Chains A and B, each alone.
Chain A
Amino acid sequence: MTEVSVAKEDVAATGELVVLKNVNKHFGALHVLQDIDLTIARGEVVVVIGPSGSGKSTLCRTINRLETIDSGAIAIDGKPLPAEGKALAKLRADVGMVFQSFNLFAHKTVLENVMLGQIKVRKTDKKKAEEKARSLLDRVGVGSQADKYPAQLSGGQQQRVAIARALAMDPKVMLFDEPTSALDPEMINEVLEVMQQLARDGMTMIVVTHEMGFARSAANRVVFMADGKIVEEAVPDQFFSNPRSDRAKDFLSKILHH
Chain B
Amino acid sequence: MFDFLSDYDNPTLLGAFWMTVKLTFFSGIGSLIWGTLLAAMRVSPVPLMRGFGTAYVNIVRNIPLTVIIIFTSLGLADTFRVTMGSDDFKVQGFRLAILGLATYTAAFVCEAIRSGINTVPLGQAEAARAIGLTFSQNLRLVILPQAFRSVIGPLANVLIALTKNTTVAAAIGVAEAAYLMKTMIENEAAVLLIGAIFAFGFVVLTLPTGLILGWLSKRLAVKR
Which A residues fall within an 8 A CB radius of B? 64, 66, 84-86, 89-97, 99, 101-107, 116-117, 120-121, 149, 151-152, 162, 165-166, 169
Q: How far is the CA of A3 from the CA of B196 in the complex (A)?
A: 86
Give min CB distance, B135 to chain A, whole Å.
8
Assess whether B131 is interfacial by the CB under 8 Å rule: yes
B123–A121 touching, CB < 8 Å: no
> What is the 8 Å Cβ interface bit string for chain B, positions 198-224, against chain A (1 contact, 0 not)?
000000000000000000000000111
Residues in B neighbouring A169, C-beta threshold 8 A: 131-132
Q: How far is the CA of A64 from the CA of B130 in the complex (A)?
A: 7
Q: How far is the CA of A120 from the CA of B131 in the complex (A)?
A: 10
B134 contact from A89, A97, A151, Cβ within 8 A? A89
Identify whether the interface residues of B are mostly helix, strand, loop, or mixed: helix
A-B contact pairs, 24 of them (CB 8 A): A66-B129, A89-B132, A91-B132, A92-B132, A93-B131, A95-B130, A99-B123, A101-B123, A103-B124, A103-B126, A105-B124, A105-B127, A106-B146, A107-B146, A107-B149, A117-B131, A121-B131, A121-B132, A121-B137, A149-B223, A151-B223, A162-B127, A165-B127, A165-B131
A97–B124 touching, CB < 8 Å: no
Which B residues fall within an 8 A CB radius of A? 45, 121, 123-124, 126-134, 137, 141-142, 145-146, 149, 222-224
Q: How far is the CA of A200 from the CA of B207 in the complex (A)?
A: 62
B131 contact from A101, A107, A152, A166, Cβ within 8 A? A166
Residues in B neighbouring A96, C-beta threshold 8 A: 130
Residues in A neighbouring B126, C-beta threshold 8 A: 66, 99, 103
Give min CB distance, A18 to chain B, whole Å.
15
A116–B131 touching, CB < 8 Å: yes
16 new A-B contacts, CB < 8 A, other than A97-B130, A120-B137, A120-B141, are: A64-B130, A86-B134, A89-B134, A95-B130, A99-B127, A101-B123, A103-B123, A103-B127, A105-B127, A105-B142, A106-B124, A106-B222, A107-B145, A149-B223, A151-B223, A152-B223
Known: A99-B123, A120-B141, A151-B224. A105 touches B128 (CB 8 A): yes
Q: How far is the CA of A107 from the CA of B148 in the complex (A)?
A: 11
B224–A92 touching, CB < 8 Å: no
Most chain A CB within a 10 A radius of its CB, from B45, B127, B131, B142: B131
Q: How far is the CA of A94 from the CA of B130 in the complex (A)?
A: 9
A120–B133 touching, CB < 8 Å: yes
Q: How far is the CA of A257 from the CA of B128 in the complex (A)?
A: 40
Q: How far is the CA of A166 from the CA of B146 in the complex (A)?
A: 21
Residues in A neighbouring B145, C-beta threshold 8 A: 107
Residues in A neighbouring B124, C-beta threshold 8 A: 103, 105-106
Residues in A neighbouring B127, C-beta threshold 8 A: 97, 99, 103-105, 162, 165
Give min CB distance, A92 to chain B, whole Å.
5
Q: How far is the CA of A254 from the CA of B132 in the complex (A)?
A: 39
Residues in B neighbouring A66, C-beta threshold 8 A: 126, 129-130
Known: A106-B222, A107-B149, A151-B224. A84 touches B45 (CB 8 A): yes
B224–A117 touching, CB < 8 Å: no
Nearest residue in B to A119 (C-beta to C-beta)? B141
Residues in A neighbouring B146, C-beta threshold 8 A: 106-107
Residues in B neighbouring A94, C-beta threshold 8 A: 132
B133–A117 touching, CB < 8 Å: yes
